[in-house]
Amino acid sequence: MAAPDTATKPLRADARRNRQRVLDAAARCFAKDGMQAQMDDIAGCAKVGVGTVYRHFPTKEALVRALADDYFARQDELARAALEVRDPWEAFSGYIRGGANLLAENRALAETAAERPDLMQAAAFAASTERGFFETLETLIERAQSAGVLRPDFQLEDIPSIMCSLGSLQISRGQYANWRRILEMLLDGLRAGARNELPPPGASLPHP
């Protein structure tokens, strides 16, 4: 995996503030323009010099990866909050809806999920290594399956496939379908008692 986009030594307080300003500005610019947003535009939005942007994020991909790391940190928070929901189906489906909404907030991440799943997978793996993200998701899945509300052949590896598919619909801006409508259809198909047997999932998620 590529080295982090910042030095290993702690950043000074002003450098941390500038880095966060760049990330916040990038999120706004990418939400508006997707991957077409330029580093100069992000610098202007953050009210910092373009050199400051490149000092923290040498490439646009490094910047998107940092946003992906933040996305999965928020995903992890969603998953942990879902564990506190008493109803197993509401916990599972609420997490899926919340994760899809987070993705929809930023076109660059939706584009990345659709076009660069390897980058998103690396960020998800980092979240699991640092916070136990995958284990939390496994608990949500197992609890719903044990309660008989989630089809028993659903697997952890199906979640990134769902998000990548929704990302493709989100960046179409309704040209093909309302992604929220498709998500609700998909969730109905995940309920226990669905009639069709599933084919095997795609590639497994990486593990340490």
- Sign of the alpha-carbon torsion through 192, 75, 138, 85: negative
For residue 191, the cross-strand partners are 150
Look at 19-28, 96-105, 113-122, 143-152 and tell me which has the smallest mean pLDDT: 113-122
Q: Domain ranges in the chain?
A: 14-58, 60-190
The type of residue at 131 is R
Pick one of 1.10.357.10, 3.10.20.30, 1.10.340.30, 1.10.10.60 as the CATH number of 14-58.
1.10.10.60
Helices and strands (DSSP H and E) totals, the chain? 10, 0
Phi and psi dihedrals of 133, rounded to 5? -60, -50
pTM of the predicted protein model: 0.77
Q: Is the pLDDT at 105 greater than 90, yes or no?
A: no
Looking at residues 4-19, what average pLDDT do you find? Answer: 67
Residue 94 has pLDDT above 50, yes or no: yes
User: What CATH homologous superfamily does 60-190 map to?
Assistant: Tetracycline Repressor, domain 2 (1.10.357.10)
Q: Is 191 helix (H, G, I), strand (E, B) or coil?
A: strand
pLDDT at 173: 66
Of residues 205 and 150, more confidence is placed in 150
Q: Would 14-58 and 60-190 be classified into the same CATH topology?
A: no
